[in-house]
Amino acid sequence: MTHTWDFATIIQNWQVLWVGLKGTVLIFLVTVVLGLAGGLLVGIARYARSRFLNWPAMAFVEVFRNTPVLVQIIWFYYAFPILTGIEVNPFLAAVLGISLNTMAFSAEIYRAGIQSIDPGQWEAGKAIGMTYNQTLRRIILPVAIKRVLPALTNRGIEVFKMSTLASVVAYVETLNQAKLIADLNFNPIEAYTAVALIFFVVLYPVVQGTYVLERILKKGD
Amino acid sequence: MVEWNFLAVFSDFDLLMIGLSNTLKVTALALLFGVPLGLVFAVMRLSTTRPLSMAAAFIIEFFRTTPPLVQLFWFFFALPILIDVRMTPFIAAIVTFSIQSSAFFAEIFRGGIQSIDKGQWEGAKAIGMNYRQSLQRVILPQAVKRMIPAFMERSIELLKTTTLVSTVAYADLMFQANDLAQKTFRPLEVYTVVAVMYFLLIFVFSQLSIAVERRLAQSGESTVR
């Protein structure tokens, strides 16, 4: 069986994909910002000596790291509204699922970064009269975050790929739009190939950039 | 206030258990095919024959940079048009997750192999081993031990990723949950129970991998990530 590739219908429908791509970028930006910023707070709480901060942070991280993202998104879409009475649209469900998951993963990255800093730095901060918060903010975090930058960019790449899961609750993003094109034009092969290529074209340079970043940081350390 | 009612969930609990066993089946089969394939890709990528290493690099990067859900849809909806096969959700799932995880396993293998001191290759060569023999008898046995933590982490990721098969109607735990939620009109209880089931399953594996990692650290092996 030979198949003749025909991307004409895809090109005709580029606007449909364009809408999807915008949806993908929107959800990516929201979840990556919430996930990485929230993760920093959770990571700091996880590192704190106080049990009231440490234990809830640990429980949060374990729960969200040890359950699949899809389960989280579906739970927020179908179960969360019943529990709280809050109306949840596809966008909110996907944002909650993906950003909480990203918070948990990035929290562990930040924590590892903070732990990797020599204790002498903390002592030096204390010696010149800085409080815990000041030392953390002015001395520890700038170095720690620089060290974990490659791991954080990897997380960002994962988040971009994860955004496709939002299609499961019918949020309008690239994969969802490709499904639409495939159903209307009976061309799943071109539609899904196009999506795969879009993701590859977007992410490949980013991945290569991460390698470069890793090399530069290794040299600097 | 919400009234929790787990009765409906637990009276049909065997449905979820079928899903759970299917989830484990897909994970195990994807590992069975994905790990050897990953080794093949890694050896190809490390090869000095340029076309071979470039082909492997392309495959690895492609499957690492495209979302697994897109790959699954491609193998399920698109591949049967390209080649004349009868695609079932089960086959699509196995094919997708084997290849997808093999791309990640390949990078773990490569990292492990590259972490071995060059002297080991030279030593093997000095006693008359060829490339294949050195790899098999000297390099891999050492590299594999270093790869175990990264390998286990990837396997856990794979277990979590298998939830995607529910979107092409394979009866894994997630799919059975959707089914049961619709039947019982109890999405809150069903999805909560399923989330707890996934949590317990994955948590056990995570703890196990942490224990193994500690044990390896004791025996003086640095870990490759």
Where in chain A are the domains? 14-220
Within 8 A of A78 by CB-CB distance, chain B residues are 181, 187-188, 191
pLDDT at B14: 92
pLDDT at B225: 43
* Phi/psi at B98 (5° precision): -65, -50
d(CA A82, CA B23): 27
CATH T-level fold of A14-220: MetI-like fold (1.10.3720)
Confidence of residue B220 (pLDDT cuts 50, 70, 90): low
- Nearest residue in A to B79, CA atom: A189
Helices (H) and strands (E) in chain A, counts: 11, 0
Q: How far is B129 from chain A (nearest CA, A)?
A: 34
Q: What is the pLDDT of residues A54-90, one digit of tens each?
A: 999 999 999 999 999 999 999 999 999 999 999 999 9
Other CB atoms within a 10 A radius of the CB of residue B115 amount to 14
- The candidate with the shortest Cα–Cα distance to B76, out of B169, B171, B175, B179, is B169
* pLDDT surpassing 70 at residue B222: no
d(CA A151, CA A144): 12
The mean of the pLDDT values for chain B is: 92
Question: pLDDT above 90 covers what percent of chain B?
Answer: 80
* pLDDT surpassing 50 at residue B224: no
pLDDT at A10: 87
Write the ipTM: 0.90
d(CA A66, CA A62): 6
Helices (H) and strands (E) in chain B, counts: 11, 0
Confidence of residue B98 (pLDDT cuts 50, 70, 90): very high
Q: Which CATH class is domain B7-218?
A: mainly alpha
Classify the C-alpha dihedral B4-B10-B11-B17 as positive or negative: positive
Across the interface, do A71 and B161 touch by the CB < 8 Å criterion?
no
10-residue stretch averages of pLDDT, chain A, 221 residues long: 80 92 97 97 94 95 96 96 93 97 96 94 95 95 93 95 96 94 90 95 93 87 65
Q: How far is B67 from chain A (nearest CA, A)?
A: 5
Q: How far is B18 from chain A (nearest CA, A)?
A: 17
For chain A, what is the largest distance between any 2 Cα atoms, rounded to a whole number of angstroms? Answer: 76
Across the interface, do A175 and B195 touch by the CB < 8 Å criterion?
no
Side chain identity at A154, as an amino acid letter? N
The two three-digit tokens of residue B65, written as one number: 């940079």
Please name the residues between 145 and 174 in chain B that touch chain A, using a CB distance below 8 Å: 160-161, 163-164, 166-167, 174
Where in chain B are the domains? 7-218
B64 CB near a chain A CB, below 8 Å?
Answer: yes
A15-36 in b/e form (b: 16+ CB < 10 A) is ebbebbbebbebbbebbbebbb
Side chain identity at B195, as an amino acid letter? A
Q: How far is B140 from chain A (nearest CA, A)?
A: 25
d(CA A101, CA A13): 33
Report CA Rg, chain A.
21
d(CA A10, CA B218): 56
Q: What is the pLDDT of residues B47-69, one digit of tens each?
A: 999 999 999 999 999 999 999 99
